Structures are given as C-alpha cells and as structure tokens.
Amino acid sequence: MVSLHATTRIPVSAWLLTTLVALAGCQPDTATGGPGSIVTVDWLSQNVADTTIVPIHVGSEAVFNEEHIPGASYLSFADFAVRNDSATGLRNELPPPDTMRQRLEALGISDDSKIVVYSDNERTLFATRLLFTLDYLGLGEQSFLLDGGLLAWKAAGNPVTADLPDTRPGTLSTKPVNELVVDAAWIAARMNTPGYVLVDARPHEQYAGAQEQTESRQGHIPGAVNLPLTELYDQDGKMRHAAELQRLFQNAGFTPGDTVVAYCVTGVLATGVTYAARHLGYEILVYDGSIEDWSADPDRPMTASPSADRR
C-alpha cells in the first residue's frame, strides 16, 4: 500500500519552465533514462547489434511471425496481464513477480539488459502495460518505449525479419516490487486529497456515462478528471512532444508535485497515461482493478455527467 507523503510545492510557472528546458535537452536517442524513457528508431537502428539490448515485440503473434525487428522476442498480452484467481475474477492483473521474472529470463533478459518494448501497430497500450509491469518489478530504470513502434521502424526504412533470435537465458536478481498499485479502499480513503489527481484514461463517452458498459456501471469515479489515452499519442502511436503533454496535464488540473493516479476499465489504458506522466517526471500510481472493480460494489459512488470534472 502506498502512504501519503508531504510534497514541496514550487510556483507552476517556474517549475514548468525548468521541466520543459530539461526535457528539451534530453534527446531520446540515448538510453540512459529512468521510468518513462523513450528511444527513437534511429537510436535503435544504430545500436541494434548491442547484445545488451533486448527488443520485445507486443501485439499480434501472427505479425511477429511474419515480421519483427531483428533480435526481437515476442511476449503475448496474456504473459503479463492475467485474470485474478480470487473471487473477484478481475481481468488484466499483474502476474506473480517470480513468474514474470522467469518469463523475462527466458527471453535473455539479465540485470544489465536494456529492454526496448515496442508495439506492432499504432496502439501503444499493450507496450505501456508491459513497461508498467517492468517498472513494478524494479526494472523501470532499464526499460524503454520505442517511439512509434514497428510502424515507425519500417517507415524509416529499417529491416524486418521473420527469423527467431538466438536467445540464451538471462539472469535477473530478485528485487522488491515497486508499490505502484492501489486498490478501491485506497481510492475511497483519499478522494479529493491534495497532491493526488485521479485520472480516467477512457474515452470521454465512457467517462461521461454516455456509452453503455456491459462489464460495469456507467460513469466515472467522483472527482476523477478525464484525460483519454488517445490525446497523449498521435495517430501513428508516437508520444506527443513534452510541451504538448505538459499542457494537457496542466489543463487536466495537475500542479507540480502531484501524483498521477490513473484508472480505466481494467488497468491497461491507464498505463499509457502514467507512462506519459512518468516521461514528464510525475510520480504515478495505477488503480489496477479500475472501473471493473470499483463499479462491482453498488455502495461505491459513480458519477455520470457529460460535463462533470472535465477540465
């Protein structure tokens, strides 16, 4: 469970200027960042022969079998998003840490690996969900999102292959998990707590309760702001520039020192928002059960309004 802590606040204008200057000077052509880091296809093409780099293809196995980045291994969504085996039966939960480490080791990942995750289409949500899982396992400092994924790689004229990589098993040290996940009780106890902004990453129609949801009640958690995942990435699956991201987060009501607490339907879309937030330097948490969990209890409040809490 995550505990509240005091945050030191600085004027928004000064913080924003400092943040954007720092981000402008950080070229994504280096792989030295922490959680939320991005690399370009140019960087990967120049370093693809580096044996410490392990590209991970997420998306369709059929696409992977037909074409993927040379040296890439495949992980299916089911490898890192599992159904909860408790009475709740929640979907797309984090796998047991030891099980996930073994899967990563089988792909040749070790303590010194640079893990470059990419999507095979313009939707980044599976890639960011895997990156969130890696961050949870303590591997966030060595994990990176390939901006634009396979589509950008091919558009730049880089080669693809159907050949499987010659992989030797890796070795990962056991690390304590990062406490990045909160539950319904945590959300209920901290609604409207200063320093935490609850973000609904779903399309606005779902947030507003205008679109029927078969798995849950309609509407959103009271106090949540709506920042759809699709606003943070362009139509080609590339993350928007830092200045544009910062404007979107500010318009959603964020101030310096805030923690992004994101949810969606089952915790997948939410990771696209938190990865962008990490990229800007925000602390992040994910309500992994999301609306599927929250709305299952009729005593938990829901708000359905086309305009409420949209900033």
Is 264 among the catalytic positions? Answer: yes
Write phi, then psi, for 211 (nearest 5 degrees): -120, 125
- pLDDT score, position 1: 31
- pLDDT score, position 191: 86
Which residue among 264, 265, 269, 277 is the active-site one? 264
Write phi, then psi, for 285 (nearest 5 degrees): -140, 155
Give the end-to-end CA distance of the chain in Å, rounded to a whole number: 29
149 close to 239: Cβ distance less than 8 angstroms = no
229 close to 269: Cβ distance less than 8 angstroms = yes
109 close to 54: Cβ distance less than 8 angstroms = yes
- Which residues contact residue 169 at a Cβ distance below 8 angstroms, ignoring those fewer than 6 apart? 105, 106, 108
**Angstrom distances, CA of residue 7 to CA of 10, 189, 194, 256:** 10, 19, 10, 9
Query: 3-state DSSP call for residue 62?
Result: helix
Q: DSSP letters of 159-226? A: --B-PPP----------PPP--EE-HHHHHHTTT-TTEEEEE-S-HHHHTT-S--TTS-SSB-TT-EE
Integer Rg of the chain from CA: 19
Q: For residue 241, what is the DSSP state?
A: P
Length of the chain: 311
- pLDDT score, position 62: 97
Q: For residue 238, what is the DSSP state?
A: P
**Angstrom distances, CA of residue 233 to CA of 50, 111, 258:** 28, 30, 22
Q: Hey, what domains does the chain have and what are their CATH numbers?
A: 1-26+179-311 (3.40.250.10), 31-155 (3.40.250.10)
- pLDDT score, position 227: 95
Q: Which of 76, 59, 88 is nearest to 290 (CA)?
A: 88
The pLDDT tens digits of the residues spanning 33-67 come to 556 699 999 999 999 889 999 999 999 999 999 99
Q: Which residues of the chain register pLDDT less than 50?
A: 1-32, 307-311
